[in-house]
Amino acid sequence: MSNPSDTFAQEAEELLQSLEQSLLELEGAPGNATLVDAVFRALHTLKGSGDMFGFSALARFTHHFETAFDQVREGRARVSHELIAVALASRDHLAALLALGAEAVADAGIAAEGHALLARLNAVVEEQPAGAANVEARATRTWHIRFRPATNALRNGFRPDLLLAELAELGRLDWSCSDELVPAIEDLDASDCWLVWEMTLETSGSREAIDDVFLFLQDGEIDITAADEAPAEAETGDEPVTADKVEPQLETSAGPAAPKSDSVRVQSHRLDELMDQLGELVIAQARLRRISDELGDTTLGETAEEIERLVTGLRDATLSIRMLPISLVFGKFRRVVRDLSEELGKPAQLVTEGDETEVDKNVIDSLTEPLVHLIRNAIDHGIETPETRAAAGKPAAARVTLRARQAGGEVLISVTDNGGGLDADAIRRRAIERKLIAATDDLSEEALYQLIFEPGFSTAKALSSVSGRGVGMDAVRRVIEDLRGTVEVRSRTGIGTEVTLRLPLTLAIIDGLLVRVGEGSFVLPLASVEECVELPEDEEARQSGRSILRIRDQLVPFVALDTQFGFPPSDRKRRRVAIVSVEGRRVGLVVDDVLGQHQTVVKPLSAYHRGIEGLAGGTILGDGSVALILEVATLVRRAQSAPRIAA
Amino acid sequence: MTKTILTVDDSRSIRDMIAFALEPQGYRVVKAEDGKDGLAKARAERPDMIVTDLNMPVMNGIEMIRELRADASFNGLPIVMLTTEAQKEKMLEGKQAGATGWIVKPFDEAKITGVVAKLLG
């Protein structure tokens, strides 16, 4: 175990996150007792461990928070909008206390904030008249329980007396015990358990509380049925639960809000180290392959091939360890949407789809900021005011949808709003004003929409405090391109806007296409290469600028990389064109030769070279030489801004 | 009468944490470092309950539980396993070996005292 207070800090962060989640869900379902319990349990755990690890200010505050929330749990206070607001603010206060570290003494400002919050919290829970509770009514219900422990239960430490006592604590318990199953005395092992209990329990406690009593006894037969017809829990509560149906709850016993994980915690730098080592292994393996090819020894060749297979397997396994569900990022945005819609007076609801989609950890880490920005934009600029929506006959509450899915080697993440859509005319005016396009340029709406990603572009009339903090959509595009991804926007007036981020699944090792241009080797990310064709001889003559190639009746513009890079013009005959796809458009890149597929370990460029446009990094080839990895999107954009030559 | 709880874990901090949680409640806590050590201490100390880790050197927790359950003099002794992974298979395996219950790591004071109270009364 590492430093316990670090472990606590990590656990506390997770607890705070699940607390936030539960509070937000509770707002939408104020009667849900399970959520109230989840909130309560998170607070309780936080208090307990906080004290244990020297976070006493945090533990004290949590204690009062918990006490106030107990009113809700006991049904003496109602879940209101105001309560959730104060509770969320209190959660933030806890996060601030946590950040101070163990044994830290909060300064006067923070302490005062804490007092103020607790006062508000108490005021909210106390102003509710007793009995006004709309938390799931804690009416007494009658449950029939039939329980037959596993035969070896007694040997394994099960104590029927304690079980019955625990149940009796929940309410009024009647029970009888049947010995029908007990075998004849000559066959009986006295330490086996053959008894069957029939119990009737009248309790105001929840079904979960009863399940908790039987937590360790799932290997027996347990039947819990509600005797009455209770509408409140009709959906789930009345169903007889057999042992194997109960089983999944084993895992949730850690707390309903805690993520179910049968996982091992690993510090992320260890994963990075593993990835680095693997990268070196891939490079060494390429070298081995090359040497074995040169020597032509069969035995060596076979071994080299086997190692290659193993390395590929190892690579895939390692990459899959780094994959995390996107829900880790999506989860954070409920709060963002809630706070923003509050601040701007635009009721909006967040819907997420594809939460289970897995993305490389490093990609996930970099995604938060761009997504926050896109969501801000969606609510601030995309969604209309309630009045406008009403006039257009749209529902008052707008919707922002976060969607993730995997497609090939890419992850698509989209932010969609059902607002007013982009205003193509306003974008056009603005772009002309900012000299991004000429007044005479005739651009399609699609092309106009893409302009919002240009640096310095912003059509918002008044810069609100929400968006327009100096970072624009260009910052979003920059981050996404750093991740070797692309951004697309689609919009329909009156219907809404959708921004889609296309990202590679992983960053550390990619499949690349190795090409030669002049003296140098370069890697094109294979994911963006569609096909390779030969450059027709009549096009060979062209040495500069942009031109058009006809591929199966489709016109594809192409650029020669030697010209782009300022290399001496190639004198090579029969050059090749790699057709790449960028933002849905096909563009050809002319290279001297295509050398083949290459498992590319991406190495960052030195700080000195990092700023160079069009380069995504470098890699080491099997012969020890270096190849640069090209950033296709940037190259294509640059090529397109080059002067056109008349066809 | 003071009840004795044996904690078997190869991590000192976990052993200390369990003692830290249980001693103020009036329990006597005996510590062992692996399954083999646990077995020896269980025989020597006759604890009222055992809290054991599963992944340990020398002898793992599940083997230790099996050995204990093979000895009829330990019939009815509550044995709680600590599982990091919250892995169902591990839990079922432990349960089949004869564990009474489990605690999922990370745990806090309240969780451990709760489970001890549940199984010891």
pLDDT at res. A597: 84
CA contacts within 13 A on the Cβ side of A586:
15
Q: Could you give the CA distance from residue A135 to residue A116 in angstroms, rounded to a whole number?
A: 26
CA distance B87 to chain A (A): 5
Rg of chain A over Cα atoms, rounded to whole angstroms, equals 32
Domain coverage including residue B94: 4-120
Q: Nearest CB to A155: which of B21, B98, B109? A: B98
Of A147-151, A441-445, A546-550, which range is least confident? A546-550
pLDDT at residue A119 greater than cutoff 70: yes
Asked if B20 lies within 8 A of A52 by C-beta distance, the reply is: yes
Q: How far apart are the first and last CA of chain A?
A: 69
Mutate which of A40, A189, A216 to disrupt the B interface (most B C-beta within 10 Å)? A216
Instruction: Encode chain B in three state secondary structure.
Output: CCCEEEEECCCHHHHHHHHHHHHHHCCEEEEECCHHHHHHHHHHHCCCEEEEECCCCCCCHHHHHHHHHHCHHHCCCCEEEEECCCCHHHHHHHHHHCCCEEEECCCCHHHHHHHHHHHHC
The CA distance from A329 to the nearest CA of chain B, in Å, is 23
**CB–CB of B99 and A156 under 8 A?**
yes
Nearest CA in chain B to A2: B13
Closest CA to A271 of A220, A234, A323: A323
Contact A155 B76 (CB under 8 A): yes
Residues 6+ apart with CB under 8 A from A533: A549, A551, A576, A577, A579, A588
* Digit-coded pLDDT (tens) for A280-316: 888 888 888 888 888 988 899 899 999 989 988 888 8
The CATH classification number of A325-504 equals 3.30.565.10
CATH architecture of A141-252: 2-Layer Sandwich (3.30)
**What is the spatial distance between Cα A561 and Cα A517, in angstroms, rounded to a whole number?**
7
Residue-wise pLDDT tens digits, B79-108: 999 886 556 677 778 888 899 988 887 777
Question: Does the CB of B11 have a partner CB in chain A at under 8 Å?
Answer: yes
Share of chain A above pLDDT 90, in %: 6
Report d(CA B19, CA A309) in Å as an integer: 50
| Integer Cα distance of A249 and A218 in angstroms | 9
Fold annotation for A4-127: Four Helix Bundle (Hemerythrin (Met), subunit A) (1.20.120)
Report the CATH number at residue B11.
3.40.50.2300
User: Cβ(A607)–Cβ(A499) under 8 Å?
Assistant: no
pLDDT tens digits for A481-533?
Answer: 878 788 888 888 888 899 999 887 666 677 889 999 988 899 998 878 888 98
B95 and A219 within 8 Å at the Cβ level: the answer is yes
The residues in B 55-74 lying below 8 A from A, measured between CB atoms, are 69, 72
C-alpha–C-alpha distance, residues B121 and B117, integer Å: 5
Interface contact A155-B75, CB threshold 8 A:
yes
- Complex confidence, ipTM: 0.83
A509-641 sits in which CATH class? mainly beta
Burial label, A107 (beta-carbon count in 10 A; 0-12, 13-18, 19+)? exposed
- Cβ distance of B86 and A254 shorter than 8 Å: yes
B78 touches chain A (CB under 8 A): yes
- Which residues 146-205 in chain A show a CB within 8 A of chain B? 152, 154-159, 161-162, 165-166, 191
Per-residue 3-state assignment (H helix, E strand, C coil) for A310-325 = HHHHHHHHHHHHCEEE
Residues of B with Cβ-Cβ distance to A149 under 8 angstroms: none
A621 Cβ contact partners less than 8 Å away, ≥ 6 residues apart: A286, A514, A521, A598, A627
Enumerate residues 6+ apart whose C-beta is below 8 A from A477.
A453, A487
Closest approach of A76 to chain B, Cα-based (Å):
25
Minimal C-alpha gap between A351 and chain B (Å):
30
User: What is d(CA A75, CA A31) in angstroms, rounded to the nearest whole number?
Assistant: 10
When CB atoms are compared, the residue of A1, A154, A156 closest to B13 is A1
pTM of the predicted structure, to 2 decimals:
0.47
Indicate the range of A210-214, A352-356, A408-412, A449-453 predicted with least confidence: A408-412
Sequence-distant (≥ 6) Cβ neighbours of residue A356 within 8 angstroms: A325, A326, A327
- The count of domains in chain B is 1
Is residue A390 within 8 A of residue A339, CB to CB? The reply is no
Q: What does DSSP say about strands A496-504 and A410-417: parallel, antiparallel, or unpaired?
A: antiparallel
Distance (Å, rounded) from C-alpha A578 to C-alpha A586?
Answer: 10
Contact A254 B14 (CB under 8 A): no
Least confident of A5-9, A126-130, A178-182, A204-208: A126-130
Q: Where are the domains of chain A?
A: 4-127, 141-252, 268-322, 325-504, 509-641
